[in-house]
Amino acid sequence: MFVVPVVCLLSAVFFYTQALQNAMGAKRWGALALIMGPFLWPMFNTHKRLLWLRAGRRGVACDVIQPGSLFA
């Protein structure tokens, strides 16, 4: 009985910090994690990947450029 609220609270903290690190809506993901708990993980990863792919299509550098490779 006590385990479920604790797991949901820890999930909320985890998803909040991950959303902050990945420039996503932190409050929204934290609130969803309070409700859904760790079952939110697949949806979070899918959303993060879609945002990353969308940023790559806009011309944002997603690859690491090696020094000296521009003029080789």
Q: What is the pLDDT of residue 72?
A: 47
Domain boundaries in the chain?
Answer: 1-39
Lowest mean pLDDT, pick from 8-17, 38-47, 51-60? 51-60
pLDDT in tens, 7-34: 999 999 999 999 999 888 899 999 999 9
13 Cα distance to chain centroid: 13
Cα–Cα distance measured from residue 39 to residue 55, given in angstroms and rounded to the nearest whole number: 26
Cα–Cα distance measured from residue 60 to residue 46, given in angstroms and rounded to the nearest whole number: 19
Q: Between vectors from CA 13 to CA 34 and to CA 35, what angle results, nearest 5°? A: 5
pTM, rounded to two decimals: 0.72
The tokens for 2 are 């006590």
- Do 41 and 12 meet the contact criterion of CB atoms below 8 Å apart? no
Question: What whole-number percentage of the chain has pLDDT above 90?
Answer: 58
